[in-house]
Chains A and B, each alone.
Chain A
Amino acid sequence: MNPYDWIPYSLATLALIIRIVRDVRRARALRDPTRRVR
């Protein structure tokens, strides 16, 4: 498979997963005041 295809899609998908996980963790921390916000 051409690296022009799989490298951008792989990096973007990885970055999206990291962003969604971070946002979910932040949203949970905001809802629960006993949790530490990082």
Chain B
Amino acid sequence: MRYIIYWIRWVFGAHTLFSGVNYFFNFFPPPPLEHSPAGPFIAALASVGLYTFIKVIEVAVGAALLLDVFVPLALLMEFPITVSIFYLDVIVDHTPRPTFMGSRELAFNVLLMAAYAGYYWPLLARRAPLREVWGRTAVGAGSVPAP
């Protein structure tokens, strides 16, 4: 199972890095979007510069996944992008290839987050006392301080 997770992390990381780097350097033509119902939305994102911002995040996430650094954070950063891709590909576009790609994207991201679930359990604290970044207990403290 460990090797399957490694492989998925490398596929997801390489795909994300390739997608991000290709946007800036254009090694290969990206998949055409003009016939997709999601095309106008992507064009609107690009027109306000948000698409470039997403691609910068993709480069950072892809590099982190391939280099095995900050992996839980990288997966969390990628998740909103993954959900957007899934929605646009599967719900909006709905043709076979985007449906497969969007589903694969979501499956890989969710499976990898499940594989690193131990790092996310602390986020599920029902009651969360303040742990300010400027406070003494924010960084390096092993447990939530007593009230």
Contacts and interface: CB of A to CB of B under 8 A. Distances in A.
| Majority-rule SS of A interface residues | helix
Contacts of B14: 7-8, 11-12
B28 A3 contact: yes
| Majority-rule SS of B interface residues | helix
Most buried by B among A4, A9, A12: A12
Contacts, number: 37
Q: How large is the interface on A (under 10, 10 to 19, 20 to 34, 35 or more residues)?
A: 10 to 19
Contact of B31 (A2, A9, A16, A20): A2
A4 to B, nearest CB: 7
Interface stretch (B4-12, B40-48, B71-79): B4-12
B94 interface: no
Nearest to B62: A8
Contacts of B3: 16, 19-20
B7 A4 contact: no
A12 B28 contact: no
Nearest to B29: A3
A20 B7 CA distance: 11
B52 interface: no
A12 B12 CA distance: 9
B18 A16 contact: no
A19 B14 CA distance: 16
B36 interface: no
A27 interface: no
Interface in A1-38: 2-4, 7-9, 11-13, 15-16, 19-20
14 contacts: A3-B27, A3-B28, A4-B15, A4-B19, A4-B30, A7-B18, A8-B12, A11-B14, A12-B7, A12-B10, A15-B6, A16-B6, A16-B10, A20-B3
